[in-house]
Amino acid sequence: MRMNRLFIPFFILLLALAGCRVPLDKELVVRRIVDGDTVELYNGKMVRYLGVDTPETRKRAGDRWVYSPEPYAIEAMDYNRKLVLNKKLDLEFDVRETDRYGRWLAYVRVGEVLVNERLLREGLAWYVEYPPNGREYRERFLSAQQEARDNSRGIWKDLHAISPHEAGKHSGEFCGVKGRVVNTASHPGVVYLYFGEKGEGALTAVIHADNLESFVKQDISAARSYRGSEVELFGKITDGRYGPEVTLYHPSQIKIIE
């Protein structure tokens, strides 16, 4: 009788634990949309879409996050919701499967739809590449982005060229920039393209070491090819250590016009 009294509570505990598990057929179903390029699954995992970046819905204010959607952030989030909410995902991983936050990094399909590509094609995302991930679908994603740009969809519809000295007023925005690269610098792990002298508050374009491969393959020496040239580029303006910055992930982001 004593053994039975011990066994019954243990059996109830097992049943309770089993009831907390997500059914296998729902583990990869999307439970919550975080933003245009991130979702949460019923198994508790967060999935960050590879190869794309979408406008943010929140920004950091001191030690907390506040709701402050960037242009087209709501449209990207709503479109992502339409594509994946309460649907089972087919996830394809690349070389690196998780980021520093523990999120899965994946190419995401719902049926025949490659969600990453669809966001680019609708102009609700732009192409980014974080090697060693990203090479698998590079050309396909760039083609989708170019189609959106050619047809002025989404973020490309309102893209207007600002001068490098205006960049500081557009932090957090996806912008086009037109100006002259007055100087360049190359350091281990990074190349800088300067659009103004130090202290002027002009834009700096940054190419990290992992992304330099794409430039080299197109016979571009980033530290020399752009120096003194008038260029057009596009990307998201961020607050850098010494002023506004934009990261160049691929040569398609910048073009010499003079």
Catalytic center residues: 48, 56, 103
Determine the residue type at 221: S
Closest CA to 144 of 168, 172, 175, 123: 123
- Give the separation between CA 34 and CA 52, rounded to whole angstroms: 15
- Give the separation between CA 3 and CA 154, rounded to whole angstroms: 67
Closest CA to 223 of 212, 231, 232, 234: 212
Helix (H, G, I), strand (E, B) or coil at 132: coil
Closest CA to 121 of 93, 150, 94, 85: 150
Structure tokens at 103: 């999120």
Q: Is it true that the peptide bond before 132 is cis, omega within 30 degrees of 0?
A: yes
Q: How big, in percent rounded to 5, are the helix, strand and coil portions of the chain?
A: 30, 35, 35
User: Would you call 62 exposed, middle or buried from its count of C-beta atoms within 10 A (0-12, 13-18, 19+)?
Assistant: exposed
Residues contacting residue 136 through CB under 8 Å, at least 6 positions apart: 94, 107
